[in-house]
């Protein structure tokens, strides 16, 4: 059951990857500025990593493998740290306007929440698959 729910989160992350790609294409066509696109491109890139993290967690749930769940947890922590660093870099490189608008802030919040959900899921996977 938990593997199936994690698979749904994989699909949600795949949808966020599509959103990131659409924004990237709009940026490449000069429909969006760099500061408008930055957080959603970050969201898409983070979600692409999230797909791998959550697939690893789903594998751990499905097979009951603690090592897969632990590995997913390590990847989720690295992803969360990378999102935080990337947001700081975006703010420094593109200025406060890259995070200050409504859409830009929404993209940043969704990226952080998505990484936090992956941390929570991988933590549950590590606890549920622990050998007693």
Domain residue ranges of the chain, discontinuous segments joined by +: 2-128
65 pLDDT above the threshold of 90: no
Counting DSSP H helices and E strands in the chain, the numbers are 5, 0
72 pLDDT above the threshold of 50: yes
Percent over 70 (pLDDT), the chain: 98
CA-CA-CA-CA torsion for 100, 104, 106, 108, nearest 10 degrees? -90
Stretch 72-98: mean pLDDT, rounded?
Answer: 94
Gap between the Cα atoms of 114 and 1, Å rounded: 21
Gap between the Cα atoms of 109 and 4, Å rounded: 26
| pLDDT tens-place string over residues 5-62 | 999 999 999 999 999 999 999 999 999 999 899 999 999 999 999 999 999 999 988 8
């Amino acid at each position: 059951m938990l593997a199936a729910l994690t698979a749904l989160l994989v699909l949600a992350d795949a949808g966020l990857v599509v959103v990131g790609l659409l924004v990237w294409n709009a940026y490449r066509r000069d429909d969006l500025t760099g500061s408008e696109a930055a957080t959603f491109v970050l969201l898409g890139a983070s979600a692409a990593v999230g797909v791998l993290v959550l697939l690893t967690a789903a594998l751990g749930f499905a097979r009951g493998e603690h090592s897969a769940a632990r590995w997913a947890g390590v990847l989720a922590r690295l992803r969360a740290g990378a999102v935080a660093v990337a947001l700081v870099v975006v703010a420094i490189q593109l200025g406060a306007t890259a995070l200050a608008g409504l859409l830009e802030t929404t993209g940043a919040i969704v990226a952080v929440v998505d990484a936090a959900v992956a941390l929570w899921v991988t933590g549950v996977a590590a606890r549920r698959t622990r050998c007693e």
